[in-house]
């Protein structure tokens, strides 16, 4: 027997409370009688003037304890092994996110999921119709109501881990929608459970077949190139590593250039903890750096990450400010671009600026370049875009989007901000860090123009004194820097797409993959999605006799995918839910109803015994 | 006569109280006694002893058996009737009220006795004798006696032994004694022994309310004794109620046995029984009234 919601066992602390109730004397109502003469022999167990009484064997207490135990077991959602149903319409939802690439004994979780799926297909009755849906960072409908079981098995066999996140809701939505169209249907969700809680309403029952057991993984969580604040502004490589396993780990962090070892550092991490190392030596002049972890763990794809030296077309930053030392120095630390100070009245005249940074000032008309707004001004009248109407004092950050590029590896937990402004944020921006009634950090893109908002004065927070500050500024600059080829980023997560825009006069566009292969692309604006392999990609455009090329790095940096501890999902169990161990082909049938029924029956017996007075 | 309605009293007019052993009286009365004497109804024979009236020798028996026997006759004479009414707090209980019922019953018995020219004395007791209606004879004392009964109020707890000690210490304590009580108290046995001497006939009327016979309490409660104020916590379950009833039955049986052992009459009554039914049917059936 297994329990899907074993946390409910904390309710067993109520068992002693039941016993204590039987030891406590009851507050009784005075009932006059003519004489207690005839009652005396019958009431010998009562002791006067003590709040406690001796605990005696009591059938009512025993029944109540049994009922409570049954109820706790029912709430813990017990399951036992059983055979899967023989529905005619079967929808298979298979998780092919990166966490499914976790391999133990040469067999990955995806391989286990495939064998589970094949077993379900083999048990299906004649004439069964199979729908196949996969999900990673997005859902894919592979087949709908196919009766060609061999085709279904082939498609299942072709599945590979992909993406850098796991989006379960749309897959469940699609799968249960397909199943709800016919009565004799069954949805199987085959996954390691490494996804957020399912929020979508289930339109038909889902049987959750879980694969995977271990949480043994370490992963690179950040790899960022910064410049030393002090001259001669030598490069620094900041790497943070997280141990997701429940055991302490000793990890060797190494950096390579063209497969040649540059430096190594040892990290010792306690279970489920994170730490960082900084590399300083041998980085000058390196274009691409690979970071590798050497440590035994089950998911390898997140043990490497690639970092590129910023070769963006960011040459001029126009800082529209009346003077802000923190901001100025911070920008100098993360970018080698020239920073020109411009007054609020003159910023529109600055035609050389690649990006604008507005500090304590909101532009009436938005610039046609990417920009950062810091500390928006407070106005008394109705605020326009990037103007504030008031403050929220000392807010605590209640919601965060740590996966957004701007906040990657930025630890905002300990940050203290005296006042966050209630800024009028345009609808195309997304709140990344919010308090109760204000948004501290927001970012977004509108018609090819990217913008970031820091809705507080840096001088009214301890952010500039923390390690998170240069990382945040580096992320922001990375996010809003223009790129020579379309709007590419220097680093992407696995499965993320980029827009490629042809340069004027480009006669050909090619892309080089990390494995050395090359592919010719169309000479038109296009979305490039084929970023399934980690490594360095390079987009090259032939303009006349000149080749303009831009590299970008693809790595898996995702807490969701690296945290491979399999999880149960009770929210799926409230429908007819089943699970399976990887070593068996059966599904587990939930039996919580039986325990709930037992609790009810025991309570009824207890009531009957009470009335009968035994 | 607000205590007892006149219709009930008039239905008692033809009744007489019966005693089952010879009791000394003052004057010739209308009470039917088992004292053997010189009246007209033959009762028995006994051996002649020197000093006996020679006129009472049955010469026919002497001629046949050649031994002198004295012929005995039932004698009708007046006797003294004492009615002890328990006025402890536990008697002010039940629906109908036990004390009220006891006062009415005592009134009816007194009425019958006074009508038959017997001497009647009534005692209200709890911790001891609280109130006493002195010995009187004749119909004229019916109204003051009923007034006396109306004035009896519940107080204290049942101490039958104390009350009996006071009664037996009186100069002439012989006669018929009625005890009307719920008997919730200690030393009942001793009290009965004290009363049950040769010159007294005792009738114990054990009175209980329907609520005592079938208690309507259930659940977790604190029982409060109406006499002593003593509190006892209890979780009353149907099973416990059954035990209580068994206890009650055993207790009544032990009281009945104690009475019979001493030649006393024991009658247990419930206050829900109408008084006329009790007197005209039950008491007559049990040989207390005729």
| Ranges of each domain in chain A | 2-80+595-612, 84-213+566-585, 218-310, 316-480, 491-555
Q: Cβ of B222 and A40 within 8 Å? A: no
Question: Is residue B226 situated within a structural domain?
Answer: yes
User: What's the longest Cα–Cα distance across chain A?
Assistant: 119
CB contact under 8 A, B225 and A35: yes
Decide if B243 and A42 are in contact by the 8 Å CB cutoff.
Answer: yes
pLDDT score at A82: 59
Tens of pLDDT, residues B177-232: 999 999 988 888 888 888 877 678 889 999 999 999 988 888 888 888 888 888 88
Which chain A residues are within 8 Å of B91, Cβ to Cβ? 34
Residue B65 shares a structural domain with residue B165: no
Interchain pair A42, B240: CB under 8 A:
yes
- CB-based burial label for A119 (10 Å; 0-12, 13-18, 19+): middle
Interface contact A38, partner B, CB < 8 A: yes
For residue A613, give the nearest of B223, B237, B247 by CB distance. Answer: B237
Q: What is the pLDDT of residue A24?
A: 75
In the predicted model, residues of chain A with pLDDT beneath 50 are 46-48, 484-488, 574-585
What's residue A582's pLDDT?
Answer: 36
Q: Do B224 and A33 touch (CB under 8 A)?
A: yes
pLDDT at position A489, please?
56
| B52 and B165 inside one domain | no
CA distance, residue A70 to nearest chain B CA (Å): 27
* Co-location of B262 and B250 in the same domain: yes
Q: Does B225 touch chain A (CB under 8 A)?
A: yes
Is B247 close to A25, i.e. CB distance below 8 A?
A: no
Quick check: B215 contacting A, CB < 8 Å? yes
B62 part of a folded domain = yes
- B270 interfacial to chain A (CB closer than 8 Å): no
Is A28 an 8 Å CB contact of chain B?
yes
- Same domain (yes/no): B101, B231: yes
Selected for mutation to probe chain A from B99, B223, B236 (highest A CB count within 10 Å) is: B223
Residue A231 pLDDT: 63
Q: Find the CB nearest A39 among B220, B232, B242.
A: B232
Q: Over 80: is that where the pLDDT of B258 sits? A: yes
B232 with A38: CB under 8 angstroms?
no
Residues in chain B within 8 Å Cβ distance of A33: 93, 215, 217, 223-226
Judging contacts by C-beta atoms under 8 Å, the chain A residues touching residue B240 are 42, 613
Mean pLDDT in residue range B233-245? 85
Q: How confident is the model at residue B173 (pLDDT cuts 50, 70, 90)?
A: low
Record: fold of A218-310 = Immunoglobulin-like (2.60.40)
Q: Does A41 touch chain B (CB under 8 A)?
A: yes
Q: For chain B, what is the domain count?
A: 2
**Fold for domain A316-480?**
Rossmann fold (3.40.50)
- The reply to whether residue A29 touches residue B222, judged by beta carbons under 8 angstroms, is yes
Report which of A380, A527, A363 is spatially closest to residue A451, judged by C-alpha positions. Answer: A363
Residue A587 three-state SS? strand
Quote the minimal CA–CA distance from B199 to chain A in Å. Answer: 32
Specify if B91 maps to a domain. Answer: yes
Q: Are residues B43 and B135 in the same domain?
A: no
The answer to whether A31 contacts B221, with C-beta atoms less than 8 Å apart, is yes
Q: Which residue has the tokens 């892309």?
A: A511
Q: What is the pLDDT of residues A363-382, one digit of tens each?
A: 888 888 889 999 999 988 88
Least confident of A89-98, A442-451, B86-95, B261-270: A442-451
In angstroms, the separation between the Cα of residue A49 and the nearest Cα of chain B is: 11
3-class DSSP string for A439-473: EEEEEEEECCEEEEEECCCHHHECHHHCCHHHHHH
Distance (Å) from the alpha carbon of B15 to chain A's nearest alpha carbon: 33
Residue A13 Cα, gap to closest chain B Cα (Å): 26
Q: Which residue of A has its CA nearest to B89?
A: A34
Handedness of CA A257, A263, A266, A267 (dihedral sign): negative
> Contact A38/B248, CB-based, under 8 Å?
yes
Q: Are residues B84 and B69 in the same domain?
A: no
Does residue B190 sit within a domain? Answer: yes
The answer to whether residue A43 neighbours chain B at the CB level (below 8 Å) is yes
Q: Min CA distance, B261 vs chain A (Å)?
A: 23
CB contact under 8 A, A29 and B215: no
At the topology level, CATH places domain A491-555 in Immunoglobulin-like (2.60.40)
Residue B290 domain-assigned (yes or no): no
Question: Are residues B140 and B242 part of one domain?
Answer: yes
Question: How many Å apart are CA B192 and CA B262, to the nearest integer?
Answer: 8
Q: What would the pLDDT profile of A118-154 be if each residue is shown by its tens digit?
A: 989 988 888 889 999 999 988 899 999 999 999 999 9
The CA distance from A595 to the nearest CA of chain B, in Å, is 29
pLDDT tens for each residue of A328-352: 888 887 776 788 888 888 888 888 8
Which residues of chain B are within 8 Å of residue A614 when distances are taken between CB atoms?
A: 237, 239
Query: Are B123 and B230 in a shared domain?
Result: yes
A45 touching B (Cβ < 8 Å): no
Q: Do B222 and A28 touch (CB under 8 A)?
A: yes
Min distance A54 CA to chain B CA atoms (Å): 14
Residues 46-105 of chain B with CB under 8 A from chain A are 90-91, 93-94, 98
**How far apart are the C-alpha atoms of A455 and A234, rounded to whole Å?**
31
Q: Which ipTM was obtained for this model?
A: 0.73
Contact assignment for A613 to B226 by CB distance below 8 Å: no
**Is residue B154 located within the same domain as residue B235?**
yes
> What pLDDT shows up at residue A436?
84
B232 interface with A at CB cutoff 8 Å: yes
Instruction: Kindly state whether A56 is in contact with chain B, defined as any CB-CB distance less than 8 angstroms.
Output: no
A506 burial (CB, 10 Å; 0-12 / 13-18 / 19+) is middle
pLDDT for position B36: 47
- Cβ contacts (< 8 Å) between B231 and chain A: which residues? 30
Are B45 and B87 within one domain?
Answer: no
What is the C-alpha separation between A553 and A559, in angstroms, rounded?
18
Given B212, B232, B247, which is nearest A34 (Cβ)? B212
- Cβ-based contacts of A43 with chain B (< 8 Å): 223, 232-234
Q: For residue A14, give how far its alpha carbon lies from the nearest alpha carbon of chain B (Å).
A: 23
pLDDT at position A7 is 79
Considering the domain boundaries, does residue B26 fall inside one? no
The answer to whether residue B278 is domain-embedded is yes
* Residue B20 covered by a domain: no
Which residues pair with residue A549 across a beta bridge?
A: A540
> Quick one: B96 and B38 in the same domain?
no
Task: Assign residue B182 the CATH number of its domain.
Answer: 3.40.50.410
Which residue of B233, B242, B252, B270 is the best one to mutate when testing the A interface, meaning the one whose CB has the most A CBs within 10 A?
B233
A2-3 vs A78-82, strand pairing mode: antiparallel
Nearest-angstrom CA–CA distance, B208 and B202: 19
Q: How far apart are CA A192 and CA B114, in angstroms?
A: 103
Chain B contact present for A32, CB below 8 A: yes
Per-residue confidence (pLDDT) for residue A545, from 0 to 100 = 86
Q: Do A38 and B232 touch (CB under 8 A)?
A: no
Arithmetic mean of pLDDT over chain B: 82
User: Taking a contact as any Cβ pair under 8 Å apart, which residues of chain A between 68 and 127 contact chain B?
Assistant: none
DSSP category for residue A218? E
Same CATH topology for A84-213+566-585 and A316-480: the answer is: yes
Answer for the pair A211, A113: CB distance below 8 angstroms, yes or no: yes
Res B141: pLDDT: 87
Question: In the CATH hierarchy, which top-level class contains the domain A84-213+566-585?
Answer: alpha beta
- DSSP collapsed to 3 states, B200-266: EEEEEEEEECHHHHCCCCCEEEEEEECCCCCEEEEEECHHHHHHHHHHHHHHHHHHHHHHHHCCCEE
- Predicted pLDDT at A218: 95
B224 vs A contacts (CB less than 8 Å) = 30-33
Q: How far apart are CA A519 and CA A330, in angstroms?
A: 40
From the list A31, A35, A613, the residue facing B222 with the nearest CB is A31
Residues of A in contact with B242 (CB under 8 A): 613
Quote the pLDDT of residue B37: 46
* Cβ pair A39:B231 closer than 8 A: no
Cβ neighbours of B185 in A, within 8 Å: 37
Count of CB pairs separated by less than 8 Å, A with B:
90
Q: For residue B175, what are the domain limits?
A: 6-15+79-285
């Amino acid at each position: 027997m297994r329990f899907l919601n074993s946390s409910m066992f904390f309710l067993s602390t109520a068992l002693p409370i039941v016993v204590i109730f039987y030891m406590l004397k009851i507050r009784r109502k005075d009932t006059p009688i003519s004489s207690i003469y005839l009652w005396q022999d019958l009431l010998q167990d009562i002791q006067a003037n003590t709040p406690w009484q001796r605990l005696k064997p009591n059938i009512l207490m025993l029944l109540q304890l049994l009922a409570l135990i049954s109820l706790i077991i029912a709430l813990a959602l017990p399951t036992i092994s059983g055979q899967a149903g023989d529905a005619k319409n079967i929808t298979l939802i298979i998780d092919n996110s990166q966490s499914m690439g976790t391999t133990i004994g040469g067999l990955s979780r995806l391989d286990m999921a495939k064998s589970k799926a094949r077993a379900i297909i083999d048990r299906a009755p004649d004439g069964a119709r199979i729908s196949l849906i996969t999900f990673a960072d997005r859902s894919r409908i592979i087949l709908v109501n196919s009766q060609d079981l061999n085709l279904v098995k082939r498609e299942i066999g072709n599945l590979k881990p992909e993406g850098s996140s796991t989006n379960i809701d749309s897959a469940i939505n699609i799968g249960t929608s397909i199943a709800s169209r016919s009565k004799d249907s069954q949805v199987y969700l085959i996954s390691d459970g490494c996804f957020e809680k399912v929020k979508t309403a289930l339109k038909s029952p889902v049987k959750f077949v879980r694969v995977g057991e271990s949480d043994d993984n370490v992963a690179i969580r950040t790899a960022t190139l910064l410049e030393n604040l002090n001259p001669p502004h030598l490069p620094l490589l900041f790497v943070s590593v997280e141990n997701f396993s429940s055991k302490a780990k000793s990890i060797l962090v190494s950096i390579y250039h063209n497969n040649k070892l540059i430096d190594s550092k040892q990290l010792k991490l306690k279970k489920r903890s994170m730490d960082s190392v900084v590399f300083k030596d041998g980085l000058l002049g390196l274009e691409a750096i690979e970071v590798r972890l050497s440590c035994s763990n089950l998911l390898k794809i997140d043990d490497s990450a690639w970092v590129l030296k910023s070769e963006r077309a960011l040459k001029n930053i126009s800082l529209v400010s009346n003077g802000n030392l923190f901001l100025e120095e911070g920008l100098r630390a993360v970018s080698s671009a020239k920073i020109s100070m411009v007054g609020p009245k003159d910023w529109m005249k600055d035609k050389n600026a690649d990006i604008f940074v507005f500090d304590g000032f909101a532009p009436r008309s938005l610039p046609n370049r990417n920009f950062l707004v810091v500390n928006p001004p407070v106005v008394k009248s109705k605020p326009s875009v990037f103007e504030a109407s008031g403050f929220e004092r000392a807010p605590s950050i209640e919601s965060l989007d740590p996966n957004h590029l701007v906040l990657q590896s930025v630890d905002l937990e300990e940050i203290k901000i005296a006042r966050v402004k209630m800024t009028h944020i345009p609808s195309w921006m997304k709140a990344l860090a919010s308090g109760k009634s204000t948004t501290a950090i927001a970012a977004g893109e509108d018609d090819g123009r990217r913008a970031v908002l820091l809705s507080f004065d840096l001088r009214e927070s301890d952010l500039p004194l923390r390690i998170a500050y240069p990382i945040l500024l580096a992320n922001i600059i990375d996010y809003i820097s223009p790129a020579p080829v379309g709007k590419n980023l220097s680093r992407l997560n696995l499965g993320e797409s980029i827009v490629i825009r042809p340069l004027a006069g480009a006669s050909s566009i090619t892309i080089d993959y990390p494995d050395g292969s090359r592919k010719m692309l169309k000479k038109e604006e296009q979305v490039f999605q084929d970023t399934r392999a980690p490594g360095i990609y390079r987009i090259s455009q032939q303009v006349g006799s000149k080749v303009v090329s831009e590299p970008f790095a693809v790595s898996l940096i995702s807490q969701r995918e690296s945290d491979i501890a399999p999880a149960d999902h009770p929210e799926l169990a409230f429908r007819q839910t089943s699970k399976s161990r990887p070593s068996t082909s059966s599904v587990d049938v939930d039996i919580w109803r039986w325990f709930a029924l037992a609790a009810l029956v025991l309570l009824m017996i207890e009531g009957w015994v009470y009335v009968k007075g035994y | 006569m607000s205590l007892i309605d006149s219709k009930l009293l008039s239905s008692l007019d033809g009744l007489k109280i019966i005693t089952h052993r010879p009791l000394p009286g003052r004057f010739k009365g209308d009470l039917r006694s088992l004292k053997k004497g010189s009246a007209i109804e033959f009762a028995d024979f006994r051996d002649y002893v020197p000093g006996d009236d020679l006129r009472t020798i049955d010469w026919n028996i002497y001629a046949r058996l050649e031994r002198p026997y004295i012929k005995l006759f039932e004698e009708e004479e007046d006797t003294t009737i004492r009615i002890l009414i328990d006025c402890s707090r536990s008697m002010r209980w039940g629906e109908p009220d036990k004390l009220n019922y006891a006062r009415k019953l005592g009134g009816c018995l007194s009425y019958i006795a006074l009508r038959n020219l017997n001497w009647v004395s009534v005692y209200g007791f709890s911790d001891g004798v609280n109130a006493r209606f002195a010995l009187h004879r004749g119909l004229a004392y019916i109204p003051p006696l009923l007034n006396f009964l109306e004035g009896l109020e519940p107080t204290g707890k049942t101490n039958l032994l104390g009350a009996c000690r006071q009664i037996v210490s009186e100069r002439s304590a012989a006669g018929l004694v009625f005890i009307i009580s719920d008997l919730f108290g200690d030393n009942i046995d001793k009290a009965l022994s004290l009363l049950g001497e040769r010159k007294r006939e005792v009738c114990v009327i054990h009175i209980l309310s329907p609520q005592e016979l079938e208690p309507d309490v259930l659940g977790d409660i604190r029982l409060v004794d109406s006499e002593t104020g003593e509190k006892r916590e209890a979780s009353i379950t149907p099973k416990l109620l059954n035990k209580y009833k068994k206890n009650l039955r055993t207790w009544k049986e032990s009281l009945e046995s104690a009475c019979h052992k001493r030649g006393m009459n024991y009658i247990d009554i419930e206050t829900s029984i109408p008084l006329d039914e009790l007197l005209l049917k039950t008491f007559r059936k049990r040989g207390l009234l005729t």
